Chains A and B, each alone.
Chain A
């Protein structure tokens, strides 16, 4: 398989790699640059645990051809904290016990961040829609929904993009 060069921003840092030309973004993140928060779950675009933000949009890294991300800005959970301080969503997930086995958690955080970055004061219905592509088999979803709503600061709308 031929190797092709690719440059992109990863959590605000410039990256340059040689990758297999047909590699998925998930395999490049996990195998090449050591970013392991996106998980290899179904690899069919169904479970959502590989979710990342590409240029601010939620996408599934397992079915994204990596070379289509040339020049893009990619965000993962590794870039959510600020100087070691957890992102409000991460803190809310902790406070609300929204992670059980944890396999879906990083995808849930990405889906929630995609929502709140564009809509800091979502309704419960909008939160449910935002995580509708992410499967959790432990929590029953309620603690996750509550955590995301908590992170908005309720009606005060204290969510700020990290």
Chain B
């Protein structure tokens, strides 16, 4: 069946088209969808696009910032307000991929990919989802739990509160090839300080489950503690709770579980990988 392309000025019209055509898929940066097409996925019959400016805008309001789902990794890395996320964006593929891959697409990247989503999870982002002509904001954690069951809605952006102190945000990606490569695992952590203790930490993992996950047991164990060997001991003991990593060509599940506490320790103590 020939492949059709439909382009809409407004995101809501694109979302409506997605909802009424079983073979329709939304085309953002193309790094996931176009490879499926090249591989011969005949379930895709229509590519839906939108030229809506909101899709590619970065808008900040006070401490909150919204990234349109079509914002690319290169645009994040270059944005003056998002320099703490530059190390995350720069671990997504090589330069060409970073010029194409979008925030929205990263939310759908299958494990062990999707490292930017790990950072968004640690920053407690919400996802703007347009279903037909109605839109709603969904916590990212909830979105990831249901994303594979809802192929008819359109992600239009993500919103999060910027860290009061950008140095409280930490990120580590472990891969076998540098500077790019699929993740053995990735860790993002937002560790606000109250005095010399961590207050309400947020930690997220990539490649440690079918989707990026929050490390809630480690967060609870770290809350109110200091970032030193003694203070992080309970968090390291709880590091792999809730993890169910896959064995794949990058690493075995056993290996991922074994090395996660090692890299979490380095991240929490501010040591280089």
Contacts and interface: CB of A to CB of B under 8 A. Distances in A.
A62 B38 CA distance: 8
Given A1-B2, A22-B4, A133 B34 contact: no
Contact of B47 (A4, A22, A51, A115): A22
A48 B94 contact: yes
Interface string A29-50: 0000000000000011100100
Nearest to A130: B95
Contact of B34 (A45, A111, A115, A132): A45
Interface stretch (B96-104, B125-133, B140-148, B213-221): B96-104
Interface residues of B, number: 25
A82 to B, nearest CB: 25
Contacts of A129: 90, 94-95, 179
Interface string B6-47: 000000000000000000000100110011011100000001
Q: Is the interface of A mostly helix, strand, loop or mixed?
A: mixed
Contacts of A131: 94
Given A44-B35, A44-B39, A64-B34, A133 B4 contact: no
A65 B27 contact: yes
B47 A59 contact: no
B180 interface: yes
B248 to A, nearest CB: 16
B168 interface: no
Contacts of A1: 2-3
Nearest to A44: B35
A60 interface: yes
Interface string A124-141: 000011111110000000
A114 interface: yes
B5 interface: yes
Nearest to B6: A21
A159 B94 CA distance: 23
Interface of B: 2-5, 27, 30-31, 34-35, 37-39, 47, 49, 74, 90, 93-97, 99-100, 179-180
